[in-house]
Amino acid sequence: MIRESVKSDKSCPLQSVERFSGRVRDYALYRPGYPSQIIDLFRDKIGLTNRDAVADIGSGTGLSSRPFLENGNPVYCVEPNSYMRAVAENDFQMFPNFRSVDGTAQNTGLESGSVNLVVAAQAFHWFAESDVAKEFERILRPFGTIAIIWNERSLNATAFLREYEEFLLKYATDYNSVRHDKFDGRRIRDIFNRQFEQLTLPNAQVLDFEGLKGRMFSSSYMPSPDDPASEHLVEELKSLFAKHARQGRITIFYDTNIFYSKY
């Protein structure tokens, strides 16, 4: 495993970089991963091989990096938050092709034309601007691909998910302003000024109550666990879980949305 560093970029707002610092454990343990079919999809659609270098921008704890590392790809995990970077460095130390990079979406610190695939997953909405598109294109090799990926939680697939959405709206702070569904194909096309293809894969999490609680607290729009309001919040979540759980588990369904453009 290799660590690389670049100087802090003032164009990346500190608020968004540090927003998850107190939630890293819950994020690493309880956020959903990505379907294994993603690798097959990229093989079929863009000709991805395990020799192709991948840059995962805003990689966090590495949930979106793992499928590519397991496929044998060299992966540059570019993440400005030191706490999240440390989790990935610990979890991925067995992968010789893992590269941990202290960089931002606007200033990755990677060499021009150094990667075949640039991926931005769940963090993309925090840095979706035209200067980011220029940086992605700078580090991309000729005929490379840029892909934007995120898990979008179903809001109404089950009675539990409908009531869970109401619960989030009741207690969240800036939930509506940071929702992923504010970004669609049109917004991505506007940022990169080119056409992107879209595919969607099904995804799901099966959680016990501790898992559901951790999933909830991993979201930056929710009060932190040490907030005085959290005690009442957790009790209401426990009642919601008890109402809908089957054999001590509930299922959260997601659509994994994939937008990609081959250059």
- Residue 26: CB atoms within 10 Å: 20
Establish if 60 belongs to a structural domain.
yes
Strand 115-120 and strand 98-102: pairing?
unpaired
Domain count, the chain: 1
CA 190 vs CA 122, 181, 194: distances in Å: 19, 16, 7
Segment (H or E) for 260: strand 250-262
Q: pLDDT 10s per residue in the chain (263 long)?
A: 556 544 444 444 444 444 445 568 888 899 999 998 999 999 999 999 999 999 999 999 999 999 999 999 999 999 999 999 999 999 999 999 999 999 999 999 999 999 999 999 988 988 878 899 999 999 999 999 999 999 999 999 999 999 999 999 898 886 655 555 556 788 999 999 999 999 999 999 999 999 999 999 998 888 888 888 888 999 999 999 999 999 999 999 999 999 999 99
- Could you tell me the residue range of the domain that residue 121 belongs to? 2-154+178-203+255-262
Task: Quote the pTM value.
Answer: 0.87
Name residue 86's amino acid: A
Establish if 168 belongs to a structural domain.
no
Establish if 216 belongs to a structural domain.
no
Establish if 14 belongs to a structural domain.
yes
CA angle 256, 152, 146 (to 5 degrees): 50
Establish if 208 belongs to a structural domain.
no
Establish if 215 belongs to a structural domain.
no
Establish if 245 belongs to a structural domain.
no
Of the candidates 238, 254, 228, 226, the one whose C-alpha atom is nearest the C-alpha of residue 167 is 238
Cβ contacts of 125 within 8 Å, gap of 6 or more: 150, 178, 180, 182, 183
Three-class SS of residue 75? strand
Establish if 234 belongs to a structural domain.
no
Q: Distance (Å, rounded) from C-alpha 124 to C-alpha 183? A: 9
Q: Any idea what the CATH number is for the domain that residue 61 is in?
A: 3.40.50.150
